[in-house]
């Protein structure tokens, strides 16, 4: 058996690992898009480190674009096998990959329009037609059961508690008549006690594990803050200051968590009677998929649905799909809550909302997620005096509030807790992926301290015989 690291090796996006069984069957674990801007990775999304037509099957841990975003490119380049995932991962992939195809086409269009003379034309990485073909290949399976994907190999998904449908993956691979090899892939490790989703469920005892390490060197996650803190922010922003509260949020996951918190506050009679708007077409589609998957909810949310069958909707909540509605919101002057994407404020409708609200001290910006330093969100986290938006210099007069407890990634303690059930005698090796090298070194030390036998930090393209 052999494993080759074809993405997310010593970096945080572009997850892709190729497992080759003794009988030659090739399984690709995830097929993510690289989303950074490092020079060495410039061509990563264009070229696979293997032939797509030689891959027999893909197993997908979850629908985030850095794990699923190159699937249509794989199909376009000749992959002809099945893609295994949970039901919710398939459904979220449908809207997220379609959205990604639109972004690819739009980016290529603007690049070509503004391209300097003599520079070659850029082609979109894939088109909506490739996404459609990709979705035909999915074979879905519920959590906690073995599914045969080859004469010698079965796969099981367990809940990762990271986003809707997210999973860690265990392979049971026939070694001889009496023994099996267990190969685990953590996907992205979620966090316990988060709204809507169940806690992460540990993997069975494995011989080898590929483990993510995004936040493995940090203990930054404060305990999840409850609705009460959100209510305080709303009270101050919309009732005391009579202003607009803008909440930039990723369309999938964060938006539904915030909406569900508001829903609970409303059911409890605590939410002030002000309008709340979800202004993002992708978030609206994603919310529909959440509604279709109570099979992924924790017990508390399922119980809540007995009294409120729609956990993502209440009287004063309005979903805004059309662009005109969104534009009208820009000039809306009464106290209200606006939830809109993108989470890092680098693009999307939220950028327009910020543009119009930023100079009025009555308004408030609530930041609920990580923002890369070079994005508008990253700059606003520093509370600067001015920022440039759409090329225009704006005074930053609105109040900026941060709630950092919403992270969907486990921190160091949560990651070690997740692996702690593993039998140290059985587990031969842990491969660390999906993290920056400096952080991975810290995680490696920590795991060795915890008596794990061998920890490897593979480089991009590196292979190991198992």
For residue 106, the minimal CB distance to Zn ion (Å) is 23
Shortest spacing between CB 285 and Zn ion, in angstroms: 18
The CB-of-220 to Zn ion minimum distance in angstroms stands at 17
Q: Which two tokens stand for residue 170?
A: 């265990």
Closest distance between Zn ion and the C-beta of residue 273, in Å? 36
Helix 254-267 vs helix 227-234: angle between axes, to the nearest 10 degrees? 80
Burial class (CB in 10 A: 0-12, 13-18, 19+), 303: exposed
Our CB check for Zn ion shows the closer of 165 and 248 to be: 165
Instruction: Please say which residue, 12 or 261, places its beta carbon nearer to Zn ion.
Output: 12
Burial 386-420, CB ≥16 within 10 A → b, else e: ebebeeeebebebbebebeebbbbbbbebbbebbe
User: Closest distance between Zn ion and the C-beta of residue 390, in Å?
Assistant: 30
Cα–Cα dist 311/309, whole Å = 6
Q: Which is nearer to Zn ion, 96 or 149 (CB)?
A: 96
Question: What tokens does 464 get?
Answer: 């190991």
* Cα separation, 12 vs 437, whole angstroms: 10
CB 246 within 8 A of CB 237: no
Within a 10 A sphere around the Cβ of 287, how many other Cβ atoms?
A: 23
Closer to Zn ion by Cβ: residue 99 or 188: 188
Min dist CB 393 to Zn ion, Å, is 35
Task: Give the residue with the Cβ less far from Zn ion, 282 or 337.
Answer: 282
Determine the Cα angle at 95 with ends 92 and 96, to 5°: 80
- Give me the residues that bind Zn ion (CB under 5 A), please: 64, 188
Closer to Zn ion by CB, 16 or 357: give it. 16
- Please state whether beta strands 57-59 and 26-29 pair in parallel, antiparallel, or not at all (unpaired): parallel
Q: How far is CA 220 from the centre of its chain?
A: 18
């Amino acid at each position: 058996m052999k494993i080759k690291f074809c993405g997310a090796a010593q970096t945080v996006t572009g997850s892709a690992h190729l497992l080759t069984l003794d009988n030659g069957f090739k399984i690709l674990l995830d097929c993510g898009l690289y989303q950074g801007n490092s020079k060495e990775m410039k061509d990563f999304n264009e070229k696979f480190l293997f032939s797509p037509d030689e891959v027999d099957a893909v197993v997908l841990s979850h629908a985030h674009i850095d794990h699923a975003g190159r699937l249509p490119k794989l199909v376009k380049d000749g992959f002809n096998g099945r893609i295994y995932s949970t039901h919710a991962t398939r459904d979220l992939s449908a809207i997220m990959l379609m959205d990604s195809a639109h972004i690819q086409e739009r980016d290529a269009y603007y690049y070509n329009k503004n391209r300097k003379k003599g520079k070659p034309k850029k082609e979109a990485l894939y088109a909506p037609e490739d996404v459609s073909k990709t979705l035909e290949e999915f074979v879905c399976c519920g959590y906690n059961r073995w599914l045969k994907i080859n004469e010698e190999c079965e796969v099981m998904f367990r809940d990762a508690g990271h986003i809707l449908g997210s999973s860690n993956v265990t392979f049971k691979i026939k070694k001889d008549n009496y023994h099996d090899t267990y190969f685990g892939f953590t996907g992205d490790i979620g966090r316990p006690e988060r709204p809507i989703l169940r806690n992460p469920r540990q993997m069975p005892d494995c011989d080898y594990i590929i483990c993510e390490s995004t936040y493995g060197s940090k203990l930054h996650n404060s305990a999840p803050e409850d609705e009460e803190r959100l209510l305080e922010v709303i009270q101050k922003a919309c009732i005391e200051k009579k202003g607009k509260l803008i909440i930039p949020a990723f369309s999938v996951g964060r938006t539904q968590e915030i909406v569900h918190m508001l829903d609970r506050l409303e059911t409890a009679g605590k939410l002030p009677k002000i309008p709340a708007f979800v202004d993002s077409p992708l978030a609206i589609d994603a919310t529909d998929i959440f509604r279709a998957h109570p099979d992924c909810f924790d017990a508390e949310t399922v119980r809540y649905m007995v009294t409120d069958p729609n956990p993502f909707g209440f009287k004063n909540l309005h979903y805004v799909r059309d662009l005109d509605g969104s534009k009208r919101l820009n000039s809306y002057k009464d106290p209200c809550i606006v939830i809109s994407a993108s989470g890092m404020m680098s693009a999307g409708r939220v950028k327009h909302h910020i543009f119009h609200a930023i100079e009025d001290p009555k308004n408030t910006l609530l930041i609920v997620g990580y923002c890369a330093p070079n994005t508008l969100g990253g700059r606003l986290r520093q509370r600067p005096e001015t920022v440039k938006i759409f090329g225009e210099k704006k005074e930053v007069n609105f109040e900026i509030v941060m709630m950092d407890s919403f992270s969907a990634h486990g921190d160091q303690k949560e990651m070690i807790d997740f692996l702690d059930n593993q039998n140290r005698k059985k587990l031969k090796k842990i491969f660390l992926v999906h993290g920056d090298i400096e952080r991975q070194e810290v995680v490696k030390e920590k795991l060795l301290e915890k008596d794990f036998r061998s920890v490897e930090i593979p480089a991009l393209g590196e292979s190991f015989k198992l």
